[in-house]
Chain A
């Protein structure tokens, strides 16, 4: 009797095992039923950062469109390589997604990882942000032209904060230095710390995303001198671009979503149209306005060409300023 019970137990357990094991391939198999389970979204930046907020907001918007939840996981560290490497190694079944940005390229050229956009299939560009340069409100420079002239004439005197060595903000600061044919001191900071250091007089200027300095700009504690985008932005109508300030410089920080290379076309198309809907929603537009992010949808194929062009520019720039290891 006891033995029969044991045998029954064994059969039961093994059936359960097979059932559990069998469910896996069939759920990933059919693309038409996609998505059948939650899609994990990786953000390579820390919780609370601008990148993290847009990731969470967008996932929240995609959820009703795709009919599945999209939990966001922060995989930080290793100069962004940890997050990118993780997603690259996942099954290309559409259930692992990553928020990409120029960081994919800067991390590659900096030598943090051995792959760039070819390891992923881009789904869509979602948005872009200009990079802003700000000084203390009562600083002697009222315009970017004056500040640029000062940098030119006083090599090594100006200290500019950025959000980390090899970050995109660092790259913009280095490009300014390069255009001025002068020298500035680049000081890497963590989130939010650069502003404290301008106020405390430890640095003269800081290159940051507008959302990080907008409040202080409005309160007349800081003055945003210029933006790196081609056009002015709605959140800061009074701030000119670099081009208007007679500096030939245009750089934007783009963000988009991607999945591991080899993900089936059907799935990519489905995600692309869902992303389009989400970007065009009123809710997302409102969110972006508050964060001074510019919603800028671009379908996957165009986006990949766009990245390739940016890849060329960033590779060139990093070589010129000596931070490229390629």
Chain B
């Protein structure tokens, strides 16, 4: 196998393929880093371009966009507090405060290193143990996915900024919003109040853009500071984290990458779920209460771990792991390749070529984005009025472009208004975002499980996998209750 991969590197390191991968990576980073444009959009946009390329070049281009986008998502999350893609939402929590403290360069560097590490680990996993993981992931039926997502939702405790009750209210708002529209199982309209526009429901992306971006923009116009941070006088020295910091975060990053790979390989979940779980891991690991580099490394390693993870079921079983790989799968079919169990035996050269391309793409993304960081931080030097007006325009375009639907722009502004008032009255926004991401998956799997069991709730407790996740959820809740009780106790003691 090693010799086959080395041989594959030979076929990948041609001028044509390198150019295609570079193009893909740059497009991905750009799409990922601009709030409102996502890597999924980039992949769809470039899909027709691949019709005329060779299969390997086609998939390399799209993989470049995928990985570049997943990595680039952290840029806007850290610099502006607005995630470039939904998968980068968890990066905002620690990344943005760090940037405001003047550590933008280092935060971006950490995100990049963790992303590439997570991504490469996922590629290695894909190469070595793909069939094993794919077969294990098949054990995740609707009931197990429900248990997993419930576990994810329990991390609301961690992102509630100290006030659990307000965090829960915020989480419920998120869940409620996602129930609008046709219900996923029977196709019944819910909370549409007779508006035909609401039948399609509220799309996650515009709502999320609105929740993060609008309060930032409003706030930036209501303060007197001209710039986010004045960096012209300072020279940004270290961009990458020090060796000591890397060593400190190694196990966390490793763990989060594995979480990402696992989540990615389970069809029907995806990047944002992994990123939030990664953030939760980071929160437990870091020493201090405030923002730390761990809070960036965790979610970024996890969401890039998803890329290789999502390719596992695609290559071994022919099942897309997430929305982006669904398009990749389609691209392969257009080229007459049938992703699935026989791909290895029938087109081994192609598969090894893809492995080699994945590794090369990670190297390219590392260099391109690493090179870009020094320019990215410069945007903090723009006058806020210009910067945020531009962002508002980009977000509006992005909200429209998701479904080519003007209604989504209204959704974005409504979400922004909601988030603005939530922040004003000290309700944390993060739990709502978490619920937005997890809510649809949770409902879907819950209802599907009940159809499978024909109404019996036993299905939720009979599988060992579910029980493991329920136990983890209970542990988190107990820990949180104890911590709250302690805080309350010390509060009255004073």
Contacts from A to B (Cβ < 8 Å): 46-50, 52-53, 56-57, 59-60, 72-79, 81-82, 85, 110, 112, 156, 159, 164-166, 185-193, 195-197, 199-200, 202-203, 211, 214-216, 218-219, 221, 286-287, 290-291
With A60-B48, A78-B199, A195-B317 as contacts: A215 and B329 at CB distance below 8 Å: no
| Contact code string B432-449 (vs A, CB < 8 Å = 1, else 0) | 000000000000100010
Give the shortest distance, in Å, between A220 (CB) and chain B (any CB). 8
Residue of A at shortest CB range from B451?
A187
Q: Could you give 7 example pairs across A and B, Cβ below 8 Å?
A: A47-B323, A48-B320, A73-B404, A164-B187, A196-B317, A219-B341, A290-B334
Assess whether B334 is in contact with A215, with CB atoms less than 8 Å apart.
no
Beyond known contacts A82-B405, A187-B452: 7 more, CB 8 A cutoff: A47-B323, A48-B327, A56-B51, A196-B137, A196-B267, A200-B140, A290-B336
Give the CA-CA distance A197 to B339 in the complex, in Å: 18
Specify which of A82, A199, A214, A219 is in contact with B199 (CB 8 Å cutoff). A82
Assess whether B268 is in contact with A193, with CB atoms less than 8 Å apart.
yes
Residue of A at shortest CB range from B266?
A196
Specify which of B51, B200, B330 is in contact with A52 (CB 8 Å cutoff). B330
Instruction: List B contacts of A159 (CB < 8 A).
Output: 452
Give the CA-CA distance A82 to B181 in the complex, in Å: 12
| Contact code string B195-209 (vs A, CB < 8 Å = 1, else 0) | 010011101000000
Specify which of A77, A192, A196, A290 is in contact with B181 (CB 8 Å cutoff). A77
Assess whether B333 is in contact with A188, with CB atoms less than 8 Å apart.
no
With A82-B200, A211-B333 as contacts: A75 and B181 at CB distance below 8 Å: no
Interface check B370, CB cutoff 8 A:
no
Residue of B at shortest CB range from A192?
B319
Instruction: List B contacts of A79 (CB < 8 A).
Output: 182, 187, 199
Give the CA-CA distance A59 to B331 in the complex, in Å: 15
Instruction: List B contacts of A165 (CB < 8 A).
Output: 185-187
Residue of B at shortest CB range from A47?
B44
Give the CA-CA distance A216 to B184 in the complex, in Å: 27
Give the CA-CA distance A82 to B339 in the complex, in Å: 31
Assess whether B326 is in contact with A187, with CB atoms less than 8 Å apart.
no
Give the CA-CA distance A253 to B25 in the complex, in Å: 38
Most buried by B among A73, A85, A191, A286: A191
Instruction: List A contacts of B199 (CB < 8 A).
Output: 77-79, 81-82, 112
Instruction: List B contacts of A193 (CB < 8 A).
Output: 267-268, 319
Give the shortest distance, in Å, between B411 (CB) and chain A (any CB). 12
Give the shortest distance, in Å, between B78 (CB) and chain A (any CB). 28
Instruction: List B contacts of A49 (CB < 8 A).
Output: 326, 330
Assess whether A291 is in contact with B333, with CB atoms less than 8 Å apart.
yes
Give the shortest distance, in Å, between A113 (CB) and chain B (any CB). 8
Assess whether B187 is in contact with A200, with CB atoms less than 8 Å apart.
no
Give the shortest distance, in Å, between B347 (CB) and chain A (any CB). 11
Most buried by B among A191, A192, A199, A290: A192
Residue of A at shortest CB range from B47?
A56
Assess whether A185 is in contact with B138, with CB atoms less than 8 Å apart.
no
Residue of A at shortest CB range from B145?
A193
Give the shortest distance, in Å, between A117 (CB) and chain B (any CB). 20
Contacts from B to A (Cβ < 8 Å): 40, 43-44, 47-48, 51, 137-142, 181-182, 184-187, 196, 199-201, 203, 267-268, 313, 317-320, 323, 326-331, 333-334, 336, 338-343, 403-405, 444, 448, 451-452, 454
Instruction: List A contacts of B403 (CB < 8 A).
Output: 74-77, 82
Residue of B at shortest CB range from A189?
B448
Instruction: List A contacts of B313 (CB < 8 A).
Output: 196
Residue of A at shortest CB range from B187?
A165
Specify which of A47, A48, A202 is in contact with B142 (CB 8 Å cutoff). A202
Instruction: List B contacts of A112 (CB < 8 A).
Output: 182, 187, 199
Specify which of A110, A187, A221 is in contact with B448 (CB 8 Å cutoff). A187
Instruction: List A contacts of B342 (CB < 8 A).
Output: 215, 218-219
Instruction: List B contacts of A53 (CB < 8 A).
Output: 330, 333-334
Instruction: List A contacts of B51 (CB < 8 A).
Output: 56-57, 60
Specify which of A59, A74, A75 is in contact with B44 (CB 8 Å cutoff). A74
Instruction: List A contacts of B405 (CB < 8 A).
Output: 75, 82
Give the CA-CA distance A78 to B200 in the complex, in Å: 4
Assess whether B138 is in contact with A48, with CB atoms less than 8 Å apart.
no
Instruction: List B contacts of A78 (CB < 8 A).
Output: 181-182, 196, 199-201
Assess whether A156 is in contact with B454, with CB atoms less than 8 Å apart.
yes
Give the shortest distance, in Å, between B331 (CB) and chain A (any CB). 8
Give the CA-CA distance A214 to B340 in the complex, in Å: 9
Give the shortest distance, in Å, between B400 (CB) and chain A (any CB). 11
Give the shortest distance, in Å, between B310 (CB) and chain A (any CB). 12
Instruction: List B contacts of A185 (CB < 8 A).
Output: 451-452, 454
Assess whether A202 is in contact with B141, with CB atoms less than 8 Å apart.
yes
Residue of A at shortest CB range from B324?
A48
Residue of A at shortest CB range from B138?
A200
Instruction: List B contacts of A219 (CB < 8 A).
Output: 340-342
Assess whether A196 is in contact with B47, with CB atoms less than 8 Å apart.
no
Give the shortest distance, in Å, between B478 (CB) and chain A (any CB). 31
Assess whether A215 is in contact with B138, with CB atoms less than 8 Å apart.
no
Instruction: List B contacts of A216 (CB < 8 A).
Output: 317-318, 340-341
Assess whether B187 is in contact with A46, with CB atoms less than 8 Å apart.
no
Residue of B at shortest CB range from A286?
B336
Instruction: List B contacts of A76 (CB < 8 A).
Output: 200, 403
Assess whether B452 is in contact with A221, with CB atoms less than 8 Å apart.
no
Give the shortest distance, in Å, between A215 (CB) and chain B (any CB). 3
Give the CA-CA distance A46 to B402 in the complex, in Å: 11
With A75-B403, A166-B187 as contacts: A192 and B138 at CB distance below 8 Å: no
Give the CA-CA distance A291 to B142 in the complex, in Å: 29
